[in-house]
Chain A
């Protein structure tokens, strides 16, 4: 900030004011009055200056000085330093008429910049060279008519300052090429570093910018694919007109001229095709050795296989499940059938057994009355009595179910005495009457 001007005057120094070095320290800024820690907003040029001072621990005056120095240095940098290449004595001997074969960048002392040199740099380099190699200066040194290299400089500038001619020259500027690494080099050095240099230099021919970078070991698959796609579809502005043979420009021999033009056009086409093939080969070589692609491919195939395995396993499992299910169903059906059959047999048997038992019991019942001599006392029972008794037995049998028949038969079994048998029957009849199954008086002989 500039100093602000305060119009109000300073007080006059009081009489008798004395101090060492004319300065008296009286107070201090106390913590109480300045304890607020606040956060600066990290915004604006002045904050950046503050940050610079704070990070480099500079005071105001130090920072001012360093900044001033840096600014001053920048100006100097612009002035020279860029064009300080030693001049090859062989180059200085060049004939101007051989300009086609000269390295224009080297002539101007720009060989470390080449296609990267800006127009500004070329202009400045030209000026510096002209100042040094102007024929008048040579003449002053006693070498008259020595303007060969000066012409070289002029030619170089003419080519490099014309964008079309410069492109044509850049297209065939072999000095700027970076040879693809050999196997030996690759074995020794970093694969990615060596190849990325190659592609960086090739990228100068691209019509499309920015050109994707080669990337390192751990580049994402997307980036790597992007890179190769870009390069396999490379759109190059490289032309080979610069290498054309001279077309005679006399009007005499038109046929010859046309022939030369055709020849040149064909040569250009051929060179362009060769160049494309060359780039393709570089790419093939590079991608063949690119571990990343292998890795991605493995990952992809692993993923694919994983899918296939999963699918196959799923299918297998489904088939197995289906088979098991079917088997289980068949088994269940079979078992059910067997069970049903067994049930049927068992129930049949049981029924028969029950029937037999009932029959047997009924026989016991009938036998019991027979044993009791049909309750006819000592004498032979009359047929009518027998009928009546058996009729009643039948009736009772008809009224009770097989279990009761069995129970009754159990009671009657073994009894031989007529009275006892009669008692049992009587009890049974009474029970039936009580249960309302038989009407009172219906059974006469057994009551």
Chain B
């Protein structure tokens, strides 16, 4: 037993670790079995568990059951509290709590007042937001423990990239109060990337990934550079407008209007809190149904003035009325790419995560935004895509299984800034080879934004054999824009090439449906490599015909470069070092 004053975490050998996504709207729990991450369903069979607690007659309900109480027992139901952790009252946004227990100021933190005990005489109690989080986490962990048949002791929890240290500390404290050791807090987009890369069939490549985490109350987009399985977040944007509740709102308004049209004498259901809660709940399930099918029904008993209401909606109509939200999401993704200083052509993959990503239209729209080569990983565009609501929990579970055998101290040291903060090369490093036309082209070996130390090895063919030159150069990309054959309308028709990548961010916002006839005249944009400064030259002599040359480049943490070149299967080879540039 350790003799430190604080409660020591469990020994690595006694840990049972899971991954938790603790979302503002929904949470998920996952664990790893046989190297595969599985999301755990709770007692109710839910894999996405609404982050809601409700108290009725001293009984505590959580998840979907608690969510249903938003209609009948909103005052004693606490929802959307995750983002309040570790924040002061003056800096929180209580909009979403309008239909549930209202947040109150409590010193440095936020609290809720609910009747959580049986019997009126007990009086309502004031729960600090961290107490609420503790209770909720306890339920989550309880579900996981029941499912696994052994007590869950530790977890990796995902948090948004903009979670402050104070919020993280508050979350760790809340978890500790629920007897849960937090092995590590990892950021949500990276968890989603890891969920994809950590699949048994996942391949580790150098790629740039956009992770669009579209949740219930907020959307976060991150641009992540994945370099040899190491992830660096290049840019993030956060948005509170274009998220799941915005889509719900669209449906609420739509059906409320329908209802008023049919029942002209009835009161507007949006003006009654209870009717609004019913509308909201049903709109959400209609939205989910629309993600799966082309039609969805909507029916609420006693919506307003005791009148039942039933209606249907098809997907096209839904997509029309929700267009502003969809476009907002597109703009958001675009702005994230721009913030990272990249072009849409630089993006290799788009991972959609979060519940709102089920909506097929969002994936389709993003497909239009990015070039065809970019993979959009969403259920509607890619059959192998993970369930967006579960991706992050899977990533967290994978991370948990990776680090659960380490001592807590080891984990702390490895995640220390001294280890995580490293230089990233700005330009690509590669070799020159010759294309069919006999031109010299740049072949990247170490792409830009790669963390150093880094090591990459490539095999370059040398079909003619003999003596070959390995010329190691720096390179970078630019966007080549080829205008269509001059037509009347093209204003700058003379310029066949415009070498400015920045000004065309707006040109390709034509992902909406109505410009098909002009599509074929669109300018052609492609990413080309430009050869930069030469770093080194090496000669490999006497290569066999149809042989291959292995070139390995290692960049040290001090930016020194080691180049080795040898014939594959051959002996010896050339090895040279470039000293680190003095600061």
Interface positions of A (Cβ within 8 A of B): 1-14, 17, 19, 21-48, 50-55, 59-60, 210, 213, 215-219
Q: Could you say which residues of chain A place their CB within 8 Å of the CB of B399?
A: 43-44
Q: Could you say which residues of chain B place their CB within 8 Å of the CB of A50?
A: 230, 419, 451
Are the CB atoms of A3 and B457 closer together than 8 Å? yes
Contact of A41 among B186, B440, B458, B534 (CB under 8 A): B186
Interface positions of B (Cβ within 8 A of A): 1, 3, 5, 14, 184, 186-187, 190-191, 194, 197-198, 204, 224, 228-234, 395, 398-399, 402-403, 413-415, 417-427, 429, 431-435, 440-441, 443, 449, 451-453, 455-464, 466-471, 474, 533-541, 548-550, 552, 554-557, 559, 561, 563, 574-581, 583
Q: A6-B458, A12-B469, A38-B234 are in contact. List 11 more A-B contacts (CB 8 A).
A: A3-B457, A10-B432, A13-B467, A13-B541, A23-B536, A34-B425, A41-B190, A42-B419, A44-B398, A47-B230, A219-B1
CA gap between A14 and B434 in the complex, in Å:
14
A227 to chain B, nearest CB (A): 12
What 3 A-B pairs come out closest when comparing CB atoms?
A46-B229, A23-B576, A51-B414
CA gap between A210 and B14 in the complex, in Å:
9
Question: Which of B441, B559, B575 is most buried by chain A, counting CB atoms within 10 A of its CB?
Answer: B559
CA gap between A10 and B413 in the complex, in Å:
44
Q: Could you say which residues of chain B place their CB within 8 Å of the CB of A60?
A: 453, 455, 554
Please report whether the interface of chain B is mostly helix, strand, loop or mixed according to DSSP. strand
Are the CB atoms of A22 and B539 closer together than 8 Å? yes
Are the CB atoms of A40 and B232 closer together than 8 Å? yes
Given contacts A7-B461, A12-B464, A42-B415, contact A24 B426 (CB under 8 A): no
Q: Could you say which residues of chain B place their CB within 8 Å of the CB of A213?
A: 1
Q: Could you say which residues of chain B place their CB within 8 Å of the CB of A5?
A: 458-459, 461, 548
Contact of B233 among A4, A22, A28, A39 (CB under 8 A): A39
B501 to chain A, nearest CB (A): 18
Are the CB atoms of A19 and B537 closer together than 8 Å? yes
Are the CB atoms of A29 and B468 closer together than 8 Å? no
Contact of A26 among B198, B536, B574, B579 (CB under 8 A): B536
B289 to chain A, nearest CB (A): 34
Contact of B559 among A17, A34, A45 (CB under 8 A): A34
Question: Which of A1, A2, A51 is most buried by chain B, counting CB atoms within 10 A of its CB?
Answer: A1
Are the CB atoms of B535 and A28 closer together than 8 Å? yes
CA gap between A39 and B416 in the complex, in Å:
10
Name B10's closest neighbour in chain A (CB-CB): A210
Are the CB atoms of A42 and B184 closer together than 8 Å? yes
Contact of A17 among B418, B539, B548, B580 (CB under 8 A): B539
Q: Could you say which residues of chain A place their CB within 8 Å of the CB of B460?
A: 6, 8-10
CA gap between A4 and B550 in the complex, in Å:
10
A18 to chain B, nearest CB (A): 8
Q: What are 30 contact pairs spanning A and B, CB under 8 A?
A: A1-B228, A1-B457, A6-B443, A7-B461, A8-B433, A9-B462, A10-B462, A10-B549, A13-B466, A13-B541, A17-B469, A23-B538, A24-B537, A29-B535, A31-B581, A35-B423, A35-B426, A40-B232, A41-B186, A41-B190, A41-B224, A42-B420, A43-B186, A44-B194, A45-B229, A45-B402, A51-B415, A60-B455, A216-B3, A218-B3
Are the CB atoms of A44 and B451 closer together than 8 Å? no
Are the CB atoms of B536 and A24 closer together than 8 Å? yes
Are the CB atoms of B414 and A10 closer together than 8 Å? no
CA gap between A17 and B456 in the complex, in Å:
26
Name B456's closest neighbour in chain A (CB-CB): A1
Are the CB atoms of B578 and A25 closer together than 8 Å? yes
CA gap between A10 and B231 in the complex, in Å:
31
Are the CB atoms of B539 and A9 closer together than 8 Å? no
CA gap between A392 and B443 in the complex, in Å:
146
Q: Could you say which residues of chain A place their CB within 8 Å of the CB of B467?
A: 12-13
Name B574's closest neighbour in chain A (CB-CB): A22
CA gap between A24 and B233 in the complex, in Å:
36
CA gap between A43 and B156 in the complex, in Å:
11
Are the CB atoms of A33 and B427 closer together than 8 Å? yes
Given contacts A22-B574, A43-B186, contact A12 B232 (CB under 8 A): no
Are the CB atoms of B468 and A44 closer together than 8 Å? no
Name A64's closest neighbour in chain B (CB-CB): B455
Are the CB atoms of A38 and B574 closer together than 8 Å? no
Are the CB atoms of B229 and A44 closer together than 8 Å? yes
Are the CB atoms of A25 and B536 closer together than 8 Å? yes
A226 to chain B, nearest CB (A): 13
Are the CB atoms of A38 and B427 closer together than 8 Å? no
Are the CB atoms of B435 and A8 closer together than 8 Å? yes
A213 to chain B, nearest CB (A): 6
B220 to chain A, nearest CB (A): 14
B569 to chain A, nearest CB (A): 13
Name A192's closest neighbour in chain B (CB-CB): B1
CA gap between A216 and B554 in the complex, in Å:
50
Contact of A46 among B228, B474, B578 (CB under 8 A): B228
Q: Could you say which residues of chain A place their CB within 8 Å of the CB of B554?
A: 59-60
Are the CB atoms of B423 and A40 closer together than 8 Å? no
Are the CB atoms of B191 and A11 closer together than 8 Å? no
Q: Could you say which residues of chain A place their CB within 8 Å of the CB of B395?
A: 43
Q: Could you say which residues of chain B place their CB within 8 Å of the CB of A42?
A: 184, 186, 414-415, 419-420
Name A24's closest neighbour in chain B (CB-CB): B537
